[in-house]
Amino acid sequence: MAAENAASELAHQGPTAGEYIAHHLTHWQNHPMKGVIDFSVVNYDSIFWSVLLGLVGCLILLKAAKSATSGVPGRFQGAVEFLVEFVDTQAKGIVHNATSRKMVAPLALTVFVWIFLLNSMDFLSVDALPMIWGKIFGALGHEEHHAYMRVVPTADLSITLGMS
C-alpha cells in the first residue's frame, strides 16, 4: 500500500505527457513567438549548439590536416581523405570552372561536416543535455521548469533557412 501511494505521489509531481512534449519542443528564446513564423525571435540554444559544433568540426578538420602523413594513412586520415574526395567529386560535377571550385570545394566540405554534426545531435538522448541545462539554470537561481534547451539546431527553421 505504501509503495502504491509513493508511486501515485511521484506520478502527480511529474509533468503530464502534454507538458513534457511542450517543454521539449520549446526553444530557449529572447521572447515568445507572436505567430507561426516570427523571425524577430532569437533561439539562443540553436545559436549555442551551432557555434559549438562548428568549432568542433573545424577542430576535427584541423587535427586531420596537422596529422596527415604522406605514407600509409591511418583510419582517421583515411576517413577524412574519403570525405574530402567525396566532396571534391561532387564539386567537380557541379562547378566546372577550376578557379571557382577552389573556393566552393572547401566551403562545401565545411558546410557538409557542420550539417552532419548538427544532425548527429539527434543521436543523443532527448533528456540528457536539457536535464543538465536545467540543473545549471536552477543553480543560477532560476526555475528549472523554465530551462528550455532544444539540442538539435536543424530543427530550428531560422537555422535551416539561414544555411540555405
Q: Rounded mean pLDDT of 6-15?
A: 60
Structure confidence at residue 85 (pLDDT) = 92
Q: For residue 10, what pLDDT band results from cuts at 50, 70 and 90?
A: low
Per the model's pLDDT, the better-predicted residue between 4 and 55 turns out to be 55
Asked if residue 147 lies in contact with residue 137, where contact means CB atoms within 8 angstroms, the answer is: yes
AA letter at 115: I
Q: What is the domain partition of the chain in residue ranges?
A: 16-163
d(CA 58, CA 104): 17
27 falls in which pLDDT band (50, 70, 90)? confident
Reply yes or no on whether the pLDDT at 55 is more than 90: yes
Cell matching residue 71 = 605514407
Per-residue confidence band for 45, with pLDDT thresholds at 50, 70 and 90: confident
* Beta-bridge partner residues of 43: 29
- pLDDT value at position 24? 66
Q: What is the mean pLDDT of residues 105-119?
A: 89
Higher pLDDT, 55 or 11: 55
Contact 59, 124 (CB under 8 A): no
Contact 51, 118 (CB under 8 A): no
Sign of torsion over alpha carbons 29, 31, 34, 40: negative
For residue 140, CA distances in Å to 45, 90, 133 come to: 17, 48, 11
Q: What is the pLDDT of residue 12?
A: 61
Contact of 92 with 101, CB cutoff 8 Å:
yes
Phi and psi angles of residue 56, each rounded to the nearest 5 degrees, phi first: -60, -45
Q: Which residue has the higher pLDDT, 132 or 144?
A: 132
> Residue 8 — very low, low, confident or very high, per pLDDT cuts 50/70/90?
low
